[in-house]
Amino acid sequence: MICSTRFWGIAILAGMVARSADAGDVENVRHVAVFHEPGRFGGWPANHGIWSWGNEILVGFSRGYYKDLGPDRHAIDRDKPEEHLLARSLDGGLTWSIEDPSRQGALIPRGKSLHGKPPVGRQEADWTDCPGDIEFTHPDFALTLRMTDTNVGPSCFYYSYDRGHSWKGPFRFPDLGTPGIAARTDYLVEGPRSCLVFLTAAKSNGKEGRPLCARTTDGGKTWNVHGWIAPEQPGYAIMPATVRLSDSGLFSAIRHRDGTGSWIDGYRSMDNGQSWSFVNRPVPDTGEGNPASLIRLKDGRLCLIWGQRKLPFSIHAKLSSDQGSTWSRDYLLRTDGKSRDIGYPRSIQRPDGTVVVVYYFCEDHSRERDIIATLWSPPAR
């Protein structure tokens, strides 16, 4: 059974405290603590995934130990354990509880994790091949895809039929004929046995990365490259965030970086992910680089949210009313970050229209990193 608690050590009550931080330039915004523990580092929801069922929200993140490694590195102690945890809200993001799925043998970093060591005394089960017949349309379904060891994989996946209370896996994700697959959680269910996943493959030189769309039609037993989102580039193009526009239309926001800078580009497919074309550059400069969260609002608009890793360190949003062809101004959700060590958001929209975006944030450079939920009501059309 997953361990669930409102406290970690002498931590403040996570989720019960609304933050009074700078709300940027928008109205109807509220910041809520999801995870805070003295001396700890919470990070990277975008690497784990977010799921929702009405006002029930589940999000994954990493918990490590805080250590100041200088202004250009993540403030996580690489010589101490890093755990993969879950945070759950039953009231639309107002309050949160923390769950540790590793207590049932699930979601444990395998081997050398990206930023720290595996949890002490816990061993992830051996990866196996998925037998297939996953029921993707189950009403309480959740899927998470993970990369391990390096930025070029290998990768695995888990799935749940009970809203993330228990997980089946880990199942090996194939390299798809590439030098390696770096999987993070971005997927669109098509039918009972069919699902599209959006991943990053290693380039032909073995370095990260090139985004692609993969597909299964047999419930996860086999996966195949369905379409390449962007060509190989001098730097990297990674971490897709994808929404469905129509029965055959998709839009994906891709994190880019090369020697000239970092930005987010938009790509569109009109044949359900088999072929893609560049549309525009919604975010021309993200500082040192940050992935986007992309959701389609109930009114049809697209909502793009990202962390800005340049002064002022901040969380931004943009809206599009024409399926990503043009974008609004930046909406500044908050501008009070004390370090570039922020962002990696994932978002959902509640039944009442409120957008809940979860990310990691630095409110004091000499302290821990927190997981924060910002609740925001986008302006009307």
pLDDT of residue 131: 98
Asked if 344 and 46 count as a contact pair (C-beta separation under 8 A), the reply is yes
Residues 99-123: pLDDT tens digits? 999 887 888 776 555 566 667 667 7
102: which DSSP letter? G
Note whether residue 176 is domain-resident.
yes
Residue range(s) defining the domain that contains residue 357: 131-304+337-364
Structure-token pair, residue 240 = 């897709």
Note whether residue 145 is domain-resident.
yes
pLDDT of residue 107: 86
Note whether residue 73 is domain-resident.
no
pLDDT of residue 159: 98
pTM of the full structure: 0.92
Among 303, 365, 381, 337, which residue's Cα sits nearest to residue 31?
A: 337
Note whether residue 97 is domain-resident.
no
Place of tokens 């993140």: 61
Note whether residue 369 is domain-resident.
no
Structure-token pair, residue 200 = 């990053």
Residues 172-219: pLDDT tens digits? 999 999 999 999 999 999 999 999 999 999 999 999 999 999 999 999
Cα 122 to Cα 44, 53, 168, 241, 325: the distances in Å are 22, 30, 17, 31, 47
Beta bridge partner(s), residue 12: none
Instruction: Give the number of residues written for the chain.
Output: 381
Instruction: Provide the residue-wise pLDDT of the chain in tens; the chain has 381 residues.
Output: 344 333 333 233 333 334 434 557 887 899 999 999 999 999 999 999 999 999 999 999 999 898 877 777 887 888 888 889 999 999 999 999 999 998 878 887 765 555 666 676 677 788 999 999 999 999 999 999 998 867 888 999 999 999 999 999 999 999 999 999 999 999 999 999 999 999 999 999 999 999 999 999 999 999 999 999 999 999 999 999 999 999 999 999 999 999 999 999 999 999 999 999 999 999 999 999 999 999 999 999 999 999 999 999 999 999 999 999 999 999 999 999 999 999 999 999 999 999 999 999 998 766 789 999 999 999 998
What is the domain-level CATH number for residue 211? 2.120.10.10
Structure-token pair, residue 18 = 């609304």
Please count the structural domains in the chain.
Answer: 1
Note whether residue 356 is domain-resident.
yes
pLDDT of residue 176: 97
Among 361, 358, 375, which residue's Cα sits nearest to residue 45?
A: 358
CA dihedral angle for residue 136, residue 137, residue 141, residue 144, rounded to 10 degrees: 30
Asked if 359 and 307 count as a contact pair (C-beta separation under 8 A), the reply is yes
Maximum Cα–Cα distance across the chain: 53
Place of tokens 């037998």: 131
| DSSP code per residue over 307-331 | EEBSSSPEEEEEEESSTTSS--PPE
Note whether residue 42 is domain-resident.
no
* 291 vs 271: CA distance, rounded Å: 25
Termini Cα distance of the chain:
45
Note whether residue 343 is domain-resident.
yes
Amino acid identity, residue 340? Answer: R
